[in-house]
């Protein structure tokens, strides 16, 4: 019932909606409406009430990552149409894998905190309460499993476009890191449940540092946040923009077999193409030049001896010559 009330208030925009209107529309008493309004205020909604006029939002709830807020005016067909919002969880990816076979594709799990957040190659991911966007998207494409890794690039390109739409100048460090001012603000972890010839579901985990101002000593030279770099953005706007951009690129790839838009974004906003970087594998470091990203989404590099090689995303880590990139 609370969800229906806040949706009605959101839909009313700057106009007041009376307790009587809400009571008639939802079939509950005005006293019950009043109790739900107070509960919504405790959740963080700044709801104004005026005698003989009713209720309206005094300001838009830019930081409450609920289904009602994100889905309001969300122009997607299925991405983000079902949102599970948690206060805390071990890992949104682990939670998504537990329910992956039970929910529709496009379901988004968002938690205010992760206690066991994880990144690529088994690394941990710091996920403080309310500091960022910790979310996992469940998708169910009808593709062969070998085509799934490209969806990491689709997710990366979608985050790039979402933040670019909101005025943030970011880049991507192939295959799964989003970079702002030479430091990491976002990581992507894609996990697959599949049989021999078909995908059951894919979980795309995304962690975005939004408000974090202090980082542990071991990562403070590598990591940053939107707030730390001067971008005071709404978490709701970021998630909504991501859903919109992801659905465009996802449908192009899955329905039309078109990778062009994703590849164009990943190349245009690349933090490493045209630069020398270190490839790290099995604790061995090799200096190479990044040449391109091919049609399969794999990195093309030139070794010191001039040999051209194709690098798959799960094989190596990449570090810049003078810093993280």
pLDDT for res 118: 61
- pTM of structure: 0.86
Indicate the length of the chain as a whole number: 325
Task: Please give the pLDDT value at position 211.
Answer: 92
pLDDT averaged per 10 residues in sequence order, the chain, 325 residues? 85 87 90 89 84 83 83 92 93 96 97 77 62 96 95 98 97 96 95 93 97 88 95 94 98 97 98 94 91 96 95 85 81
Smallest CA-to-CA distance from 135 within 81, 207, 184 is with 207
Work out the burial of residue 26: count CB atoms within 10 Å of its CB; fewer than 13 is exposed, 13-18 middle, 19 or more buried: middle
Cβ pair 154, 249 in contact under 8 A:
yes
Report pLDDT for 192.
96
Let me know: does 269 contact 160? Beta carbons within 8 Å.
Answer: yes
Report the C-alpha gap between 151 and 204 in whole angstroms: 8
Determine the Cα angle at 206 with ends 201 and 211, to 5°.
Answer: 155
Q: Which of 223, 224, 206, 240 is nearest to 91 (CA)?
A: 206
Are 193 and 199 contacting, i.e. CB atoms less than 8 angstroms apart?
A: yes
Whose tokens are 């972890």? That residue is 189
Q: Specify the residue for token string 């077999």.
A: 257
User: Token pair for residue 34?
Assistant: 């009043």
Q: Which of 137, 138, 129, 124 is nearest to 111 (CA)?
A: 129
Burial 162-183 (b: 16+ CB within 10 A, else e): bbeeeebebbbbbbbbbbbebb
CB 147, CB 202: distance < 8 Å: no
> What pLDDT, on the 0 to 100 scale, is given for residue 13?
82
Question: What DSSP designation does 248 have?
Answer: H
278 beta partners: 287, 319
Contacts (Cβ under 8 Å, ≥6 apart) of 147: 141
Domains of the chain: 2-57 (1.10.10.10), 67-268 (3.30.930.10), 276-320 (2.30.30.100)
d(CA 85, CA 67): 7
Listed in sequence order, the residues at least 6 apart from 146 whose beta carbon sits closer than 8 Å to its beta carbon are none
């Amino acid at each position: 019932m609370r969800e229906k009330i806040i949706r009605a208030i959101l839909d009313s925009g700057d106009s007041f909606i009376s307790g009587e209107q809400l009571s008639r529309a939802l079939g509950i008493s005005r006293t019950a409406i009043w109790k739900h309004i107070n509960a919504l205020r405790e959740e963080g909604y700044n709801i104004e009430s005026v005698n003989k006029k009713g209720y309206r939002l005094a300001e838009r709830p830019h930081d409450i990552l609920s289904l009602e807020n994100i889905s309001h005016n969300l122009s997607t067909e299925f991405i983000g149409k079902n949102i599970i919002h948690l206060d805390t969880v071990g890992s949104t990816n682990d939670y998504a894998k537990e329910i992956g076979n039970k929910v529709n594709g496009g379901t988004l799990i968002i938690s205010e905190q992760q206690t066991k957040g994880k990144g690529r190659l088994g690394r941990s991911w710091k996920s403080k309460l309310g500091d960022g966007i910790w979310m996992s998207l469940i998708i169910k494409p009808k593709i062969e499993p070998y085509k799934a890794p490209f969806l990491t690039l689709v997710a990366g390109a979608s985050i790039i476009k979402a933040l670019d739409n909101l005025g943030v100048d970011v880049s991507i460090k192939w295959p799964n890191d989003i970079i702002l001012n030479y430091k990491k603000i976002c990581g992507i972890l894609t996990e697959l449940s599949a049989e021999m010839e078909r995908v059951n579901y894919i979980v795309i985990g995304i962690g975005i540092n939004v408000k974090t101002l202090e980082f542990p000593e071991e990562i403070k030279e590598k990591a940053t946040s939107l707030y730390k770099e001067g971008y005071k953005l709404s978490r709701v706007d970021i998630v909504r923009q991501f859903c919109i951009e992801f659905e465009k690129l996802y449908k192009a790839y899955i329905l039309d077999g078109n990778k062009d838009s994703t590849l164009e974004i990943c190349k245009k906003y690349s933090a490493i193409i045209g630069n020398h970087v270190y490839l790290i594998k099995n604790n061995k470091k090799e200096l190479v030049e990044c040449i391109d990203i091919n049609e399969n989404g794999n990195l093309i590099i030139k070794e010191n001896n001039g040999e051209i090689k194709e690098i798959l995303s799960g094989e190596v880590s990449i570090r810049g010559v003078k810093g993280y990139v």
